[in-house]
Amino acid sequence: MLPARFDYVAASSVEEAIAAKAEGGDEARILAGGQSLLPMMKLRFATPSKLVDINRIDGLDAIRSHNGHWHVGALVRHADIAASGAVSGAVASAAPWIADPLVRNLGTMCGSVAHCDPEGDWNSVLLATGAEVVAQGPSGRRTIAIGDFVQDFFTNSLAEDEMVVALHIPVPSGRSGGSYQKLERKVGDYATVGVAAHLELAADGTISAAGVAMTSVAPINRKATDAEALLVGNAPSVELFAEAGEAAAAAADPRDDVRGSARWKRRVVAAFTRRALTAAAEQAQA
Amino acid sequence: MEITININGTDHTADVEPRWLLVDHIRTGAGLTGTHIGCDTTSCGVCTVLVDGTPVKSCTMLAVQADGREVTTVEGLKSADGLHPIQQAFSDEHGLQCGFCTPAMMLVGAALIDENPAPSDDEVRWAISGNLCRCTGYMNIVKAIQAAAAAAASSNGDG
């Protein structure tokens, strides 16, 4: 299957890419890994008039640690993250479960985040860890909290003349841990349910910060804010995590589909939230 | 757009539309039909080729993206010395039934062995988890990849 015709620009700098994208207006798309965009174009779900290929731009393929954040460039592939010894917590936990090995070799974290597919795993991880998206436009860069970036089903808050150049993910520090739990029917399928959890512990062992976010169970990746509120200020326990699991299940809004009934998916959210929190607490207490 | 892709050691220059897929370019443009098209929706992995040594789905990459890169297809595995160890192992271990997924399985296996000279059962299964075999002949595929790894290791040891 061939995509519909489009103009193709291989940009050699971020500035050139932004200018080319701006020229194409809302029908222009950035091509990074292409592992979601090209399949959508082949099925004619997406028919951009222009593709701006950023794969030949230097300097976008590194993961750097700076000021307490991992800076993940726009050309860092899922496989790079999975192979990197530099990341930990929920990010390291999720990386091997993105799509399949072949897709991970080309697909990028920034591209997946910008795609805003509610069945994409990374946005849950970023919501749980409190990450930021770095967007660059003609007048410079701005950082956007992930909660403000993810607007709706396949909709982000980028302007037409902006592109995602990096993600800033807080490096877990002190007594902290994170985990991503994913149920998939087979490798490469969308998540039936995914839950990301991040915990930080105070000196007295109580939870000082908590992030919980869910994949595939709402129109967009959704933070389980009630569950987070329950956790903060309390000591980790089986009972607490079970209660947080129920709160997350209540916040989920799954649908009946080929992957299972809504009722069953809510139970999976409860169980996976409990498991993700347990794994996060074990790391934090280690 | 004029592009030049080095396929199996030979430069192929062609004028292609930007929307032309790498797999179409390999099969129709270069005439190398060992790379198969299965689902054409980024699911089955039978179109796998190595781009600069990394296995990717050639149905989900534009030909223009491969301009200036080195692509290895199943036809590129064989050398003047004969079959690649992975090809010999798939033959010896009966690592194929209908053969449709075999070029992709061998390329993924070859790339795995390059990185990990003695992959465990789980590591092989993990590596091929993006490639479907609808004959479900996975047992012998895993055996073949491990046999190829052992053969490559012993020949490296001899050399």
How many CB pairs below 8 A link A and B? 79
User: In this structure, how many other beta carbons lie within 10 angstroms of the beta carbon of residue B10?
Assistant: 9
Name the nearest CA neighbour of B71 among B21, B135, B137: B21
Task: Fill in the DSSP letter of residue B64.
Answer: G
Q: Which domain holds residue B130?
A: 85-155
- The residue out of A170, A205, A236 marking a domain boundary is A170
B19/A contact by beta carbon, under 8 A: yes
- The residue out of B31, B48, B76 marking a domain boundary is B76
My answer on whether A193 and A279 are in the same domain is yes
Task: Give the residue-averaged pLDDT of A95-105.
Answer: 97
My answer on whether A113 and A181 are in the same domain is no
CB atoms A101 and B43 under 8 Å: no
For residue B93, is pLDDT > 90?
yes
Residues of chain B contacting A39 with CB distance shorter than 8 Å? 41-42, 60
Domain CATH number, residue A270: 3.30.390.50
My answer on whether B7 and B44 are in the same domain is yes
- The residue out of B15, B46, B76 marking a domain boundary is B76
My answer on whether B10 and B54 are in the same domain is yes
My answer on whether B112 and B138 are in the same domain is yes
B75/A contact by beta carbon, under 8 A: no
Q: What is the pLDDT of residue B159?
A: 47
Nearest beta carbon to residue A102 from set B19, B56, B126: B56
My answer on whether A189 and A277 are in the same domain is yes
My answer on whether B52 and B112 are in the same domain is no
A83/B contact by beta carbon, under 8 A: no
A7/B contact by beta carbon, under 8 A: yes
Q: What is the pLDDT of residue A9?
A: 98
- The residue out of A136, A170, A204 marking a domain boundary is A170
- pTM (predicted TM-score): 0.96
Q: What is the pLDDT of residue A124?
A: 98
pLDDT in tens, A205-237: 999 999 999 999 999 999 999 999 999 999 999
- Residue A156 maps to a domain: yes
CB atoms A38 and B43 under 8 Å: no
- Residue A58 maps to a domain: no
How close are the terminal C-alpha atoms of chain A, in Å? 51
Task: Give the residue-averaged pLDDT of A166-170.
Answer: 98
My answer on whether A163 and A205 are in the same domain is no
- The residue out of A170, A205, A235 marking a domain boundary is A170
Secondary structure (H, E, C), B90-152: HHHCCCCCCCCCHHHHHHHHHHHHHHCCCCCHHHHHHHCCCCCCCCCCHHHHHHHHHHHHHHH
Mean of pLDDT over chain A: 97
For residue A151, is pLDDT > 70?
yes
My answer on whether B142 and B95 are in the same domain is yes
Task: Tell me the pLDDT band of A109, cut-offs 50, 70 and 90.
Answer: very high
B105/A contact by beta carbon, under 8 A: no
Domain CATH number, residue B133: 1.10.150.120
My answer on whether A183 and A208 are in the same domain is yes
**Shortest CA gap B157–chain A (Å):** 28
Q: Which domain holds residue A141?
A: 63-170
Between the CA of residue B29 and those of A136, B33, B64, B88, B92, what are the distances in Å?
Answer: 38, 10, 13, 28, 33
My answer on whether B24 and B57 are in the same domain is yes
For residue A69, is pLDDT > 60?
yes
State the best of B1, B48, B49, B56 to mutate against chain A, taking most chain A CBs within 10 Å: B56
pLDDT in tens, A28-65: 999 999 999 999 999 999 999 999 999 999 999 999 99
For residue B98, is pLDDT > 80?
yes
Nearest-angstrom CA–CA distance, A120 and B129:
19
User: Total structural domains in chain A?
Assistant: 3
Q: What is the pLDDT of residue B156?
A: 76
Nearest beta carbon to residue A3 from set B19, B67, B130: B19
CB < 8 Å from B in window 20-49 of A: 31, 34-35, 38-39, 41-43
A246/B contact by beta carbon, under 8 A: no
My answer on whether A138 and A230 are in the same domain is no
Task: Locate B47 and state its tokens.
Answer: 């179109």
For residue B158, is pLDDT > 70?
no
Residues of chain B contacting A99 with CB distance shorter than 8 Å? 130
CA angle A41, A46, A49 (to 5 degrees): 90
Domain CATH number, residue A119: 3.30.465.10
**Shortest CA gap B36–chain A (Å):** 14
**Shortest CA gap B24–chain A (Å):** 9
Q: What is the largest CA-CA distance in chain B?
A: 48
A51/B contact by beta carbon, under 8 A: yes
For residue B157, is pLDDT > 70?
no
My answer on whether B52 and B114 are in the same domain is no
My answer on whether B55 and B18 are in the same domain is yes
Nearest CA in chain A to B54: A105
Question: Beta strand pairing status for A63-66 and A69-73?
Answer: antiparallel
Q: Which residues pair with A152 in a beta bridge?
A: A155
A53/B contact by beta carbon, under 8 A: yes
My answer on whether A243 and A196 are in the same domain is yes
My answer on whether B71 and B93 are in the same domain is no
- The residue out of B29, B55, B76 marking a domain boundary is B76
My answer on whether A72 and A118 are in the same domain is yes
Nearest beta carbon to residue A187 from set B21, B57, B130: B130
Nearest CA in chain B to A190: B43
**Shortest CA gap A77–chain B (Å):** 12
pLDDT in tens, A8-35: 999 999 999 999 999 998 899 999 999 9
My answer on whether B70 and B94 are in the same domain is no
User: Total structural domains in chain B?
Assistant: 2
For residue A173, is pLDDT > 90?
no
State the best of A8, A77, A102 to mutate against chain B, taking most chain B CBs within 10 Å: A102
Nearest-angstrom CA–CA distance, B38 and B69:
24
Q: Are A95 and A107 in contact (CB under 8 A)?
A: no
